[in-house]
Amino acid sequence: MTSDLGQTPSQTVGPFFGYALPFAGGPQLVAPSRADAVVLHGVVLDGDGLPVPDALLELWQADADGALVQRAGSRARELGRFTGFGRSAVDVDGHYEFATVLPGAVAPSTTGWALITVFARGLLHHLFTRAYFLDADAALPADPLLDRVDPARRETLIARADGPGSYRFDIRLQGEGETVFLEYADRA
């Protein structure tokens, strides 16, 4: 007698069985040597400000022209082809890094952003946030989502330039300076 019992639900996100989660070239949406490549990097921190050493991040974004890759196999890595998707496991110090391009706006009256999904121990569900790329002294852009965020918390959605072709975006999971996380109404 056999019966399909289904998958046992988890109580939190992870721990992960690592087969195929990190994959070759996962953090590289573009080749780092590409002329318009930028680095998005940062640290995932817990509520005490300590690094989370076992988080996994996924990044989804438009290309420099604001076009979203929406075809079968779009996550496959091929030399020179922008995929719009990357996956990076953090190191023991909670640091992550992606090689990508500055995303273009996907609609009029918006600015370019990257969607970041956070998977980490202790989370009941994965978390969603956005990173808006700004030069060091630039003012916040006009954007419908940013305009709805409490002005005191908007800075947690900003990846600031910290060198030529480099943007830092730290993710704080809770506590003072907690990153703004998004919830989608149609999420099950």
Q: Which residue has the higher pLDDT, 18 or 175?
A: 175
For 9-53, the pLDDT digits (tens) are 555 555 555 655 677 788 999 989 999 999 999 999 999 999 999
Count CB atoms within 10 A of the CB of residue 143: 19
Please give the DSSP secondary-structure letter assigned to residue 21. Answer: S
Show the tokens assigned to 152: 């005191």
| Res. 180 pLDDT band, cuts 50 70 90 | very high
Give the predicted TM-score (pTM) of the model.
Answer: 0.86
Q: Annotate 84-152 with DSSP letters as a single string.
A: SEEEEE--TTSEEEEEE-PPPPSSTT---EEEEEEE-TT-SS-EEEEEEEE-TTPPPPP-HHHHHS-TT
Question: What are the structural domain ranges in the chain?
Answer: 38-172
Is the pLDDT confidence value at 167 over 90?
A: yes
Average pLDDT on 90-98 reads 97
Show the tokens assigned to 123.
């989370």
Query: What mean pLDDT, rounded, does the chain reach?
Result: 86
Mean pLDDT of 128-142: 86
Superfamily of structural domain 38-172:
Aromatic compound dioxygenase (2.60.130.10)
Q: Which of 60-74, 96-110, 138-152 has maximum average pLDDT?
A: 96-110
Short-list 75, 71, 45, CA closest to 60? 75
Q: In this structure, are strands 166-168 and 113-119 parallel, antiparallel, or unpaired?
A: unpaired
